[in-house]
Structure 1
Amino acid sequence: MSKLMNRSLKKFIIYAAVVLACSIPVYYFFLSELWQYELNEHEIILTEQAGREDSFLIIGTVTLLTILFFSLLIGGLVLLNRNISRQLWQPFYDSLAKIKNFDLNGQHAVHFEKTDITEFAELNLQLDKLISRSISAYNQQKEFADNASHELQTPLAIIQSKLDLLLQNKSVTDEQYVLIEDAYRALMRVGRINKNLLLLARIDNSQYMDEQLVNLSELLETSVAAFSQFAEAKQLILESCIAKNVEVKGNRDLVEILVNNCLNNAIRHSAPNNTIGINLSEKILVFSNQGNESLVQEQLFKRFGVASSKSPGTGLGLALVKQIAGRYNWRVDYAFSNKRHVFSLYI
């Protein structure tokens, strides 16, 4: 039963109870007068005690009957109200359930039940239009991101090759070399953004639907070995504690991207001469690295979100982690404890 109907019913019950309470003295007064009139009419003389007893008996009986009928009336009204409310609001709850189960990524159309209640029929019509427009806009956005990323690959590759040639040219001055190197680094960043955008578009388009049992322990050990040189170049120590034969169900490429992004993020945002922890147990995977201050959690997993002004990055690495984890109903948490950033993945 709706809260609105409940509130109205409560007000009515309170009002009826007040009326009943006020009516009892009125009953008593009028019935006493009527009783005295009948006694006088028939010239019946009762003792004071007998008259009082008869009066209380009649008043009590009438009052009890009134309360009984009042209770039956209110009980019937409550049952009737619940039944009417259930039938009246059922189309609303049906539509609400369909909206709650709607997933924009799934692209499944929502079919609302027909109803003869004009207001809910109009609501369903407008909801259907809103959902259709949302799906259309979402598809256009995904198509644009996919197409733009594809089209950018070729010119980016051409620019990179031209910059490589310029860097290898012996006639380039030191000043020109610095400018070309800066442009090259900016281009590499654009390339990473384009690659991540393309990957996000493919995930949104469900191009990684196949799933299999992935040995996360072996995959993590391979990734740690692959990133060891990168860590050594930054004078970092990788400390790993990996449980054996931990398996997850998912797409191997996506799981590998998730692990690599977490590991790469920890290495890139760590100062030299520090340690990076990688711990895997049966239900949780944890990456931790040294830090001076907590990251902005509201921006941490957003696309192009800036979680730290000191090392902004591309803003897509952790968004990819969140997207992949969400695909398999894994939970990603962040905490800052003892001057360390801790990313926990509950599998």
Structure 2
Amino acid sequence: MSKLLNYSLNKIILCAGIVLVCSIPIYYFALSHLWQYELGEHHVRVTPEAGREDSFLIIGAVTLLSAFFFIVLLGALILLNRRLSRRMWQPFYESLEQIKSFDLDEPSNTIFQRTGITEFDEMNASLQKLLSANLAVYNQQKEFADNASHELQTPLAIVQSKLDLLLQSKQLNDDQFQLIEEAHAALSRASRINKNLLLLTKIENSQFSERQTIDLSGILGELLVQFAPFFEEKKLHVYADIKTPVNIEGNRILIEILFGNLLTNVIRYSISPGEITVSLSHDRFLIANPGEESLQADQLFKRFATASSANPGTGLGLALVKQISMRYQWKAYYQFQGNNHTFQIRF
């Protein structure tokens, strides 16, 4: 039975119980006086003992019989209320199931049928209008993100290739070479920002399927092997404590991005030489690295916010970590303690 029906039935039963408890003594008192009146009206004389016994039996029997019929009537009303309520609210629950099963990838499956009840038909019409409007906005955002990314990547790639050709020219002096190098670096950063913004948009629009079982420990192990040259270059020693297997239902690409961005962040903000701690269990992922001062904790997971003035980055890496964590209903934490930066993802 639904919570709504339970709520109404509980109130009915409580009210009926109070009425029954309060009415029995009143009913008994009224019948007792009526019994005495009838005896006096018909000049019936009985002994006190017999009068008390007869009155108790008759009044008690009538009271119990009345209470019995009251309970039967209450039970019938409860049963009737349950059946009527279920039938009356059935269109509402059907609409609710339609909303729960709504899928952006298959929006045509959500069609609200007419119920013949004015209130529910109006509600379904409003829901259909709301879903259609949101679906149109979603499609527009998706199309814009795809088009913007495609259109921007082409000129960025062309400019980058032209700069590469200029860098190979033998007629450049040192100042010209330095200017082209700076332009090349800025262009590369713009290209990364463009890709990350597109990725953020896709995550927010739920454009990543989540129908596969992923081994987090396997992905993390592969990434540690891939990042090993970068750790060696910066003289960072990695201590890994990875439980196996740690499985979730999700998208492999997003998990690789989450782990990869945290590993990149560790390399960027670690003191060289130093020690890195990586830990994965069934309820959390933790990564810690040495540092001289705390990052700006209130800015870490915001878009385009700089965690440190020394290494500005693109400002989107940890924003992606936060967005992916929210998608899977995980919690992302940062703390600086004992000259160590610690990032933690609780599953």
Classify the TM-score, shorter chain: 0.7 to 0.9
For the residues of structure 1 that align with 2:242 and 2:107, how far apart are their CA atoms? 38
The verdict on how the C-alpha distance between 1:151 and 1:60 changes in structure 2, with shifts beyond 3 A counting, is same
* Aligned residue number for residue 36 of structure 2: 36
* Aligned residue number for residue 223 of structure 1: 226
Unaligned runs of 5+ in 2: none
* Aligned residue number for residue 278 of structure 2: 278
Aligned pairs for 1:79-98 (under 5 A) are 79-98=79-98
User: Match of 1:238, SS?
Assistant: strand
Measured on the aligned residues, the alpha-carbon RMSD in Å equals 4.4
CA contact (8 A) 1:208 1:251 kept: yes
| Per-residue deviation, 1:141 | 0.8
User: Match of 2:96, SS?
Assistant: helix
Of 136-145 and 274-283, more deviation after overlay is shown by: 274-283
Of 337-346 and 144-153, more deviation after overlay is shown by: 337-346
Aligned pairs for 1:37-116 (under 5 A) are 37-104=37-104, 109-116=109-116
| Per-residue deviation, 1:148 | 0.9
Aligned pairs for 1:155-166 (under 5 A) are 155-160=155-160, 165=166
Of 145-154 and 84-93, more deviation after overlay is shown by: 84-93
For the residues of structure 2 that align with 1:281 and 1:8, how far apart are their CA atoms? 46
| Per-residue deviation, 1:237 | 0.7
| Per-residue deviation, 1:295 | 6.5
* Aligned residue number for residue 341 of structure 2: 340
* Aligned residue number for residue 129 of structure 2: 129
The verdict on how the C-alpha distance between 1:35 and 1:317 changes in structure 2, with shifts beyond 3 A counting, is same
Calculate the TM-score normalised by the size of structure 2.
0.73
Calculate the TM-score normalised by the size of structure 1.
0.73
Of 252-261 and 128-137, more deviation after overlay is shown by: 252-261
Percent identity at matched positions?
49
For the residues of structure 2 that align with 1:83 and 1:307, how far apart are their CA atoms? 61
Of 239-248 and 81-90, more deviation after overlay is shown by: 239-248
* Aligned residue number for residue 146 of structure 1: 146
Of 161-170 and 65-74, more deviation after overlay is shown by: 161-170
- Matching of residue 170 in structure 1 with residue 173 in structure 2: yes
| Per-residue deviation, 1:250 | 8.3
Over residues 258-279 of structure 1, what are the superposed CA-to-partner deviations in whole Å (9 max), with x where a residue is unaligned?
A: 5433321221233444332335
The verdict on how the C-alpha distance between 1:282 and 1:123 changes in structure 2, with shifts beyond 3 A counting, is closer
For the residues of structure 1 that align with 2:4 and 2:253, how far apart are their CA atoms? 52
User: Match of 2:46, SS?
Assistant: coil
The verdict on how the C-alpha distance between 1:57 and 1:264 changes in structure 2, with shifts beyond 3 A counting, is same
Over residues 289-347 of structure 1, what are the superposed CA-to-partner deviations in whole Å (9 max), with x where a residue is unaligned?
A: 235447758973x6x264846566434324545667889x695744537443134486x
CA contact (8 A) 1:333 1:345 kept: yes
CA contact (8 A) 2:220 2:259 kept: no
For the residues of structure 1 that align with 2:62 and 2:211, how far apart are their CA atoms? 77
User: Match of 2:314, SS?
Assistant: coil
* Aligned residue number for residue 265 of structure 2: 265
Of 181-190 and 54-63, more deviation after overlay is shown by: 181-190
Over residues 138-175 of structure 1, what are the superposed CA-to-partner deviations in whole Å (9 max), with x where a residue is unaligned?
A: 121121111111111233234445666489732748xx
For the residues of structure 2 that align with 1:49 and 1:84, how far apart are their CA atoms? 52
Over residues 178-226 of structure 1, what are the superposed CA-to-partner deviations in whole Å (9 max), with x where a residue is unaligned?
A: 7x76655443322111122345567768688997998647623431234
For the residues of structure 2 that align with 1:181 and 1:246, how far apart are their CA atoms? 45
Unaligned runs of 5+ in 1: none
For the residues of structure 2 that align with 1:294 and 1:171, how far apart are their CA atoms? 36
CA contact (8 A) 2:214 2:250 kept: yes
Of 317-326 and 78-87, more deviation after overlay is shown by: 317-326
Aligned residue pair count = 336
- Matching of residue 239 in structure 1 with residue 242 in structure 2: no
CA contact (8 A) 1:167 1:177 kept: no
